[in-house]
Structures are given as C-alpha cells and as structure tokens.
Amino acid sequence: MRPIKNIHGDKAPHWVGDGFYVKTLINHLDDNPHFNYIHTDPFLLFDYGKPTIFDPNPNYKTQPHGVGQHPHKGFETVTIAYEGEISHADSVGGQGIIQKGDVQWMTAGRGIMHEEFHSEAFGQRGGVFSMVQLWVNLPSAHKLTDPNYQSIKRADLPLVELIDSSNPNHQTTIGKAAIIAGAWQEITGAANTFTPINLWNIELHTAGATTLKVPNTHNTLLLVQEGELLVNGTSVSAGNLIQFDAPTQHRTDGQTLATDTIELHYPATENGEQAPVKLLLLSGEPIGEPVAGYGPFVMNTQEELRQTFRDYQTGNFVK
C-alpha cells in the first residue's frame, strides 16, 4: 500500500470573492514544508468548498455572487461543481454554465482573463453550493499554449463499478467511480491532459472495502468530500485531503508502470443505514521543472514571471 504522508484539513476556510467559501488544502506558494510543491507536482493548488447554503439573491443582475475578471497564465484550472451551478466567461469568447456534476478543464496557457459567478438560475433560487477547484501545472513546452476549454458534462463521464473486496465470494457492488481523467484499467477518462494525470470522482454507498490502484510514478492525493471511512487503515473524515508518500519510481522510456494500492474500507453502521461517502482521487506524474509563481501566474523562471507582470500592467497580457 502507498503509505500516508500527511492529512491536510486544518486550514481555516476563506472567501474567494463573495461566492466561493473554500479551504485551500494545498498551495504551491505556501512556505510550510508539508505543502512543498515537489510532493504534489503537478498539482499546484487545491481549493475545497464544502456544502454551504446560499439564500436567494434578488440582486443577481447587478450583484452576482462570485469573482470578477481576473488573469491566469501558465497552468490549468479544473473546476467541479458538486452542488449548485457556476457561470463563467473569459477574454477569448468562452462562456457557459458548469452544472451539478459537471467539470470544466480550462487551459490558461499563454494567458486569459476569466470570471466566475453563481449561475443566474442558482443565484435566484439559492440552495446548497459545493465545489472543488484544482490548479494543474503545465510543462515548459506548453506554458504558452493557446487558451482552451474542455467542458465535460456529468453524463459524459465514464463510470466504473466498485466491487466489495472484503467478500470475494460475492460480486457485490459497493460504489462507483466517475473517470474524469486518466484511466481505470481499460476505462479512459473524458479529459485530455498534457501530462499523465488521474482524476476520479468516487462514491461508496454500501459498507465494504475496495482497492484503488495508482501508478507508482505518480504523486497522489485523496479528498474525503463527504462522510468518513478508513484509508489504508487510518480513519479520515470529510474536509480532509490525504497526501500519500512520494512515488517510489520515476518513468523511463519503455518502462512498464507498476502500481501502488490504496485500500478503502467503509464500515457498516450500527443501524444498517449508510450515508454515501464521496471522494476525489488525484494522481499525477511529476513534471520536475522549476516553478516561479505569484498570484495567478505560474512560470518557470523569475524573469518569465516579471515579463508576465509587465505584459499585464501594459495591456499586452492577452495579445
């Protein structure tokens, strides 16, 4: 089994704009050694927005909840709407609504101006809002790629049934995994990525155990979004992000990748009623390049970072 290195969850939540109430569970700019980017590469930042109730917003037309126009360069943002809806628009003409269960994979590349708000429909009715936003680094060869979107609908995510491994005599399904990126055995995810990445939405609805297999070349993280379970024998509750030990191997040309295992055990309750446990697995092969980041810009050198700021300040950012 891949050993657990740290469990991140003690960060205080904060507002991003006035629409997203999140815990930043990892951040490549954090000087805490537990958050050293080398241990999470290619994942730069992870914001988890726990379920939060918003009242109906009668002023949506003039004061929508969210974040106004802001820049990104040199990386990708992955946004998953678990509850509620997110409306987005940008400087290259992209716009749309991320609905419940949908995924938006935005490649900022050479630069984009972007805004994110609650959708008009959700703003007007209010309700429970929950989301995740992940920042994924781009390798130097693709830092200046053209901006792009992958808008992935919930219905387009391939599903894999999870079989109870604690009772090998019965093929009991205890949950499912939606494959956003990467592959689960022969099932390939919906998203295209610049480097090898797995991103799986996992739900366990019945007591039992199951095993996840991840390449032993990958940095690996697991968010417990809802519920509580045992991960490799350790009890972990909602709102915590598990960071596993560093990869034991590095890819070489022609190498057949081996896998490490992560054991999930969802114990039965005394009354027999099981509330679903929801998880998000992230694993990625480290890029292994220098990172120079500040705010919404992530480059490879300080000079590239300074030039990005000059371009932004002189109006040449997205030209």
The answer on pLDDT for 55 being more than 90 is yes
- CA 7 to chain CA centroid, Å, is 16
Q: Which is higher by pLDDT, 103 or 315?
A: 103
Predicted pLDDT of residue 274 = 84
- Distance, in Å, from the CA atom of 201 to the CA atom of 179, rounded to the nearest integer, reads 7
The answer on pLDDT for 118 being more than 90 is yes
Predicted pLDDT of residue 10 = 82
Predicted pLDDT of residue 166 = 82
Predicted pLDDT of residue 143 = 96
The answer on pLDDT for 97 being more than 70 is yes
Predicted pLDDT of residue 229 = 96
pLDDT in tens, 4-51: 999 998 889 999 999 999 999 999 988 665 567 888 999 999 999 999
Q: Is the distance from CB of 243 to CB of 281 less than 8 angstroms?
A: no
Q: Which is higher by pLDDT, 34 or 135?
A: 135
Q: What DSSP string runs through the chain? A: -PPEEEEE--PPPEEETTTEEEEEEEETT---GGG-GGGTTTEEEEEEEEEEEE---TTTTTS-SEEEEEEEBSEEEEEEEEES-EEEEETTS-EEEE-TT-EEEEE-TT-EEEEEEE-HHHHHH-EEEEEEEEEEE--GGGTTPPPEEEEE-GGGS-EEEEE-TT-TTS--EEEEEEEEESEETTEEPS---SS-EEEEEEEE-SSEEEEEEEETTSEEEEEEEESEEEETTEEEETTEEEEEPPPS----TTPPPPEEEEEEEEPPPTTS--PPEEEEEEEE-------EEETTEEESSHHHHHHHHHHHHTT-TT-
Average pLDDT, integer, range 51-71: 95
Predicted pLDDT of residue 27 = 93
Predicted pLDDT of residue 253 = 55
- Distance, in Å, from the CA atom of 125 to the CA atom of 57, rounded to the nearest integer, reads 7
Predicted pLDDT of residue 273 = 81
Predicted pLDDT of residue 250 = 63
The answer on pLDDT for 249 being more than 60 is yes
Determine the residue type at 128: V
Token output for 282? 């992230």
Predicted pLDDT of residue 90 = 87
Average pLDDT, integer, range 168-196: 92
Predicted pLDDT of residue 255 = 57
Mean pLDDT, the chain, as a whole number? 92
Determine the residue type at 154: R
Average pLDDT, integer, range 299-313: 95
- CA 158 to chain CA centroid, Å, is 17
pLDDT confidence tier of residue 95, bands split at 50, 70 and 90: confident
